[in-house]
């Protein structure tokens, strides 16, 4: 039982990171109908920017995070304004390929700029463990879950109660009708990319800080971030709530498999846990192609 | 720039030509005016260019890759042809698009709030909200419902209410009667009159010519991108060509197809 609970803690932390990355995908998809494959790149870039602020400029952890969030928000908005805006009206396929191109750019750029950083990010919560009864939980995992909840809460408040949030939802439903209400759809697009950029930094920072089975600060974080993709398929591409639940389910499933399968079912192999997210994605696609919480269109019959 | 004077029309479209994608000529020199306090009806068959004319006026043309190649659009005396849709809404023109286009997944209340997006004065928005709910009591009853589940007539009222949340000087309506039962059409008609009475000018595009002309102070007939005819509403309603081609009443019952063709031809030459 204690093993189960501590695995659950790890799984929820990893899931929270997936959820944060998935939220970035969802925000952009809802507004622009583009699946942004570069989201994983922003996660990596964000983590390195935090490192830059902390180690090279000695800014302190929280200041560095805010700085990195501002940078990635600006990068996201600029990419939308300078590149994607020219692509409006082009096939969605072409736009998605551009985001893949951007994703491929991130690795060489980060390795060129930062080489292989010796240390990771120094987080305030370190790798200490906390004991709850017999269960040992990593501080970093607790912090990750808490931060994930805070970001999710902020999202909820933004979408539900603010003028801009309402405009974002309206734009997601019908762009032309939103224009006709005086909503600037361009601003909404840019804002969505900015938000996705900022959220990616939080995810990247948690991963680089040691949440889940993380390799520390390295470009391979983008591969982990890409595993948020099964999470959004599971949750539904256009549902922020679904992104979170999808993220948590995938995270827990992956960690649990990693914890039990090698001992119980050795035939599946030690790395089976890495495959599990995609297995779940495949099964969900068979049964509910729009995800558990995705919109099957509201229509009067 | 001229502004305000008693003779300044609320909306003036002058000799406008519009193309889509630099090839398809949809409007070929259209002029139209909405005078302060007026209801103006714009009639025409499918493909005549009615919706394009509305897009030209409301700034949505660019969304459809169309552009004005000639002529001008003035709103309350100021040129607006280079403004984007948001700026035009802020100036006081609200549009109800064809097919209602409510935000189906949002609640009725949220749809109305979205309509007030261009306004920053909270007190004013609250006043408009009360006004709209009074004008459309159905919406007041269903404020929390998901808009997509309203009936067709209720959705049309929501679309109109949403537009009125912008407190527009000019309300532009594209086929508000489309697909609605006759009783509801009558209700919509009365609401348009009421909206106009309380100080909003109306530009009404309709295929239902009887409905539109019965309330319009002035009417225009658009054909193949040109204004084929215009005149006061009652006069158009009495016009024999209009009766035949838009109201479906022939002078002597039904005429042969050949007559119809000659009419078309004559119409095109004269215009």
Residue B58 lies in a domain: yes
**Which residues of chain A lie closer than 8 angstroms to B97, CB-CB?**
176-177, 180
Q: DSSP string of chain B?
A: ---S-TT--SEEEEEEEEEETTTEEEEEEEEEEE-TT-EEEEEE-TTSSHHHHHHHHHT-TGGGTEEEEEEEEEETTEE-TTS-HHHHHHHTEEEE-TT----TTSBHHHHHHHHTTT---HHHHHHHHHHHHHH-HHHHHTTTSBGGGS-HHHHHHHHHHHHHTT--SEEEEE-TTTT--HHHHHHHHHHHHHHHHTT-EEEEEES-HHHHHHH-SEEEEEETTEEEEEEEHHHHHH-HHHHHHTS---TTS---HHHHHHHHHHHHHH-
Residues B141 and B24 in one domain: no
Q: Chain B: residue nearest A177 by CA? A: B101
| pLDDT beneath 70, residues of chain B | 1-6, 247-271
Residue B227 lies in a domain: yes
Query: Measured between CA atoms, how close is A194 to chain B, in angstroms?
Result: 21
Which one of B167, B182, B206 terminates a domain?
Answer: B167
More confident: A196 or A292 = A196
Residues B62 and B120 in one domain: no
Mean pLDDT over A72-91 rounds to 86
Please determine, for residue A259, whether its predicted confidence score (pLDDT) is greater than 70: yes
- The answer to whether B39 touches B201, Cβ cutoff 8 Å, is yes
**Residue (of B195, B194, B192) closest to B205 by Cα position:** B192
**Residue (of B140, B20, B42, B182) closest to B98 by Cα position:** B42
CA distance B123 to A148: 37
Residues of chain A with pLDDT > 70: what percent? 95
Residues B163 and B174 in one domain: no
Residues B105 and B33 in one domain: no
Per-residue pLDDT at B56: 95
Residue A20 lies in a domain: yes
Residues B17 and B41 in one domain: yes
A180 and B113: CB-CB below 8 Å? no
Per-residue pLDDT at B253: 46
CA distance A79 to A11: 33
A170 and B106: CB-CB below 8 Å? yes
**Which residues of chain B lie closer than 8 angstroms to A88, CB-CB?**
none
Angle at A63 between CA A57 and CA A66, to 5 degrees: 115
Q: And the tokens for A212?
A: 């889940």
Residues of chain A with pLDDT > 90: what percent? 22
Residues B212 and B262 in one domain: yes
Q: How confident is the model at residue A214 (pLDDT cuts 50, 70, 90)?
A: low
Sign of the dihedral through C-alpha A209, A215, A216, A222: negative
Residue A58 lies in a domain: yes
Nearest by CB to B106, from A169, A179, A300: name it. A169
Residues B18 and B134 in one domain: no
More confident: B106 or A138 = B106
Residues B259 and B200 in one domain: yes
Residue B4 lies in a domain: no
Nearest by CB to B90, from A174, A175, A182: name it. A182
Per-residue pLDDT at B136: 95
Per-residue pLDDT at B266: 46
Residues B144 and B256 in one domain: no
How would you classify residue B27: left for phi > 0, otherwise alpha for psi between -120 and 50, otherwise beta? beta
Quote the number of domains for chain A.
1
State the number of CA atoms in the 13 A half-sphere of A32 facing the CB.
31
pLDDT tens for each residue of B191-219: 999 999 999 999 999 988 889 999 999 99
Residue B243 lies in a domain: yes
Residue A193 lies in a domain: yes
Mean pLDDT over A229-248 rounds to 86
Q: Chain B: residue nearest A184 by CA? A: B86
Please determine, for residue A238, whether its predicted confidence score (pLDDT) is greater than 90: no
Q: Which helix (H) or strand (E) holds A43?
A: helix A39-51
Residue by residue, what is the 3-state secondary structure of B12-34? EEEEEEEEECCCEEEEEEEEEEE
**Residue (of A109, A15, A124) closest to A62 by Cα position:** A124
**Which residues of chain B lie closer than 8 angstroms to A180, CB-CB?**
58, 60, 85, 89, 94-95, 97, 101
Mean pLDDT over A228-233 rounds to 86
- The answer to whether A284 touches A295, Cβ cutoff 8 Å, is no
Quote the number of domains for chain B.
2
- The least confident of A125-129, A154-158, A180-184, B62-66 is A125-129
- The answer to whether B230 touches B220, Cβ cutoff 8 Å, is yes
Q: What are phi and psi of B13, to 5 degrees?
A: -105, 125
CATH number at residue B235: 3.40.50.300
B86 and A300: CB-CB below 8 Å? no
Residue A180 lies in a domain: yes
Per-residue pLDDT at B177: 92
How many Å is the Cα radius of gyration of chain A?
19
Q: Model pTM?
A: 0.83
Helix (H, G, I), strand (E, B) or coil at A231: helix
pLDDT tens for each residue of B100-117: 999 999 999 999 999 999
**Which residues of chain B lie closer than 8 angstroms to A176, CB-CB?**
60, 63, 97, 101
Which one of B146, B167, B188 terminates a domain?
Answer: B167
Per-residue pLDDT at B4: 43
Per-residue pLDDT at B1: 39
Residues B112 and B212 in one domain: no
Domain around B120: 101-167
Residue A300 lies in a domain: no
Query: Measured between CA atoms, how close is B157 to chain A, in angstroms?
Result: 15
Q: And the tokens for B224?
A: 């193949």
Residues B177 and B239 in one domain: yes
Which residues have CB under 8 Å from A153's CB, separation 6+?
A: none
CA distance A295 to A290: 7
Domain around A89: 2-219
Residues B113 and B179 in one domain: no
Per-residue pLDDT at A296: 62
Which one of B118, B149, B167 terminates a domain?
Answer: B167
Query: Measured between CA atoms, how close is A138 to chain B, in angstroms?
Result: 41
Query: Measured between CA atoms, how close is B117 to chain A, in angstroms?
Result: 6
Residue B43 lies in a domain: yes
């Amino acid at each position: 039982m204690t093993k189960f609970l501590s695995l659950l803690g790890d799984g929820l932390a990893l899931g929270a990171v997936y959820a944060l990355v998935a939220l970035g995908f969802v925000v952009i998809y809802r507004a622009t109908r583009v699946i942004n494959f570069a989201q994983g790149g922003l996660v990596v870039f964000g983590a390195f920017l935090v490192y830059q602020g902390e180690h090279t400029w000695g800014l302190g952890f929280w200041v560095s995070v805010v700085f990195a969030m501002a940078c990635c928000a600006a990068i996201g908005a600029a990419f939308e304004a300078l590149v994607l805006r020219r692509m409006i009206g082009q096939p969605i396929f072409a736009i998605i390929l551009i985001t893949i191109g951007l994703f491929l750019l991130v690795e060489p750029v980060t390795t060129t700029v930062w080489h292989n950083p010796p240390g990771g990010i120094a987080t305030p919560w370190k790798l200490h463990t906390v004991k709850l009864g017999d269960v040992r939980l990593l501080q970093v995992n607790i912090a990750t879950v808490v931060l994930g909840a805070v970001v999710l809460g902020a999202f909820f408040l933004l979408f539900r109660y603010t003028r801009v949030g309402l405009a974002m939802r309206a734009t997601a439903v019908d762009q032309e009708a939103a224009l006709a209400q005086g909503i600037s759809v361009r601003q909404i697009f840019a804002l969505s990319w900015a938000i996705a950029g900022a959220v990616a930094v939080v995810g990247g920072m948690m991963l680089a800080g040691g949440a889940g089975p993380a390799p520390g600060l390295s470009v391979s974080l983008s591969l982990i971030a890409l595993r948020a993709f099964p999470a959004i398929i599971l949750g539904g591409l256009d549902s922020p709530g679904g992104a979170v639940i999808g993220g948590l389910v995938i995270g827990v499933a992956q960690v649990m498999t990693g914890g039990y399968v090698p001992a119980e079912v050795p035939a599946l192999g030690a790395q089976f846990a890495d495959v599990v997210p995609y297995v779940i994605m495949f099964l969900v696609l068979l049964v509910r192609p729009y995800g558990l919480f995705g919109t099957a269109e509201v229509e009067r019959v | 720039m001229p502004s305000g004077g008693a003779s300044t029309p609320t909306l003036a479209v002058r000799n406008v030509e519009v193309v889509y994608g630099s090839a398809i000529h949809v409007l070929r020199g259209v002029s139209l005016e909405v005078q302060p306090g007026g209801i103006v009806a714009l009639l025409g068959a499918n493909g005549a260019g009615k919706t394009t004319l509305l897009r030209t006026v409301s700034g949505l043309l660019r969304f459809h890759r169309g552009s004005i190649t000639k002529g001008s659009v003035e709103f309350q005396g100021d040129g607006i042809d280079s403004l984007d849709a948001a700026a035009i809404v802020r100036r006081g023109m609200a549009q109800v698009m064809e097919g209602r286009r409510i935000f189906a997944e949002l609640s009725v209340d949220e749809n109305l709030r979205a309509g007030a997006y261009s306004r920053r004065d909270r007190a004013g928005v609250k006043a408009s909200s009360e006004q709209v709910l009074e004008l459309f009591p159905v919406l007041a009853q269903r404020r929390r419902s998901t808009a997509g589940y309203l009936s067709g007539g209720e959705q049309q009222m929501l679309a109109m209410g949403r537009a009125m949340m912008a407190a527009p000087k000019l309300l532009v309506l594209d086929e508000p009667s489309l697909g609605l039962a006759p009783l509801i059409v009558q209700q919509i008609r009365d609401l348009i009159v009421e909206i106009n009475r309380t100080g909003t000018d109306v530009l009404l595009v309709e295929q239902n010519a009887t409905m539109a002309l019965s309330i319009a102070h002035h009417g225009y007939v658009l054909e193949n991108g040109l204004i084929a005819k215009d005149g006061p509403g009652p006069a158009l309603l009495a016009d024999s060509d209009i009766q035949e081609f838009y109201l479906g009443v022939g002078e002597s019952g039904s005429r042969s197809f050949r007559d119809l063709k000659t009419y078309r031809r004559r119409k095109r030459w004269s215009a």
